[in-house]
A = this chain, B = another copy of it.
Amino acid sequence: MSLTSDMDASIDDQAARAAWLYYVGGLTQDQIASEMGLSRQRAQRLVSRAVAAGLIHVRLNHHLARCVELEAALRARFGLVRCRVMPGLGPSRDPVRSIAPAAAEEMERVLAENGSRVIALGTGRALRGMVDALSPVEAPQHRLVSLLGNIALDGSASYFEVIMRLAEKVRAPHYPMPVPVLVDSVEENRTLQSLGAVRKVRGLAQAADVTFVGVGQMSEDAPLMTDGFLTADELHEIQRVGAAGEVAGWIYDRQGRYLDLALNARLTGVRVEIATPERPVIGIAAGEAKIVALRAALTSGIINGLVTDEPTAAGILAG
């Protein structure tokens, strides 16, 4: 009513303002409607739009005893440098929802550092959730680098894009891996790897100060297969030789030792094997299906940091 400037405000501005009044101000949608001169319906739509667009972030400020216990147990058993366990949301819900805010906090922790860091990133739904949950912060002092491309065999960019989104939020220089994840032949791979641009990105990724990766399972619902990088037959063959999980496309066994597969020669991405306390590799993953893959990666130290949820943490420790 008195706020005439609302008239020309963009829809997102209005949504943000409505959500602000609703969540922070504690007004009802009726009050928001009269405050902003809208119908109650519209106020409701704005609020729900703001939530859907991720304008509103909710975080829990309380360390649940059970989660803290699991964190401590994981830290002790696998010598982790970072570990967060978030409450589960029940079996039918996407666990990414639960771990994304915590993963975002870990990322913010890195971004808040003053010195210039090289941050390497994998791909996947969990990392994408992390980036979506991240608060925009100006952190141009850091460099972001991809461990692998985001182009599938057929040329589509269906794989979850992480690095560009993140770079947009933090305004940092970024170095995507400018190649497909997987190529058709060893020769093609050799050609690509010899390119200066590729060599530069690889070099940067290998020198990363901190690395964030998803962890893929090698069961029937393996991301490598659902994303079209492996056929069902290939998957079964790889399962047969002991595949337990995969980080950035590189497949390892139940002890977390990378397998020597024909596939490897066609993978273009950087293999993660640098996890040390000074250069941590943080795994972001949760879900029943990923327990085996996570336990293996933790056992050999492919990852030495973990953000997961309660049932997954319990599952890892149960083995």
What residues make up the interface of A, taking CB atoms closer than 8 Å to B? Answer: 5, 9-10, 12-13, 15-17, 19-21, 23-27, 31, 35, 50, 54-62, 64-66, 86-87, 89-90, 93, 97-98, 101, 108-109, 112-115, 135-136
Contacts and interface: CB of A to CB of B under 8 A. Distances in A.
29 contacts: A9-B64, A9-B66, A10-B65, A12-B62, A13-B62, A13-B64, A16-B87, A17-B64, A20-B64, A20-B86, A20-B89, A20-B98, A23-B60, A24-B58, A24-B60, A25-B93, A26-B93, A27-B89, A31-B90, A50-B60, A55-B60, A55-B61, A55-B62, A56-B59, A57-B59, A58-B58, A58-B59, A61-B135, A108-B112
Query: Looking at chain A's contact residues, is the secondary structure mostly helix, strand, loop, or mixed?
Result: mixed
Contacts of A65: 9-10, 13
Q: How many copies does the complex hold?
A: 2
Nearest to A31: B90
A98 B5 contact: no
B56 A21 contact: no
A20 B60 contact: yes
A64 B25 contact: no
Contacts of A16: 60, 62, 64, 87
B58 A90 contact: no
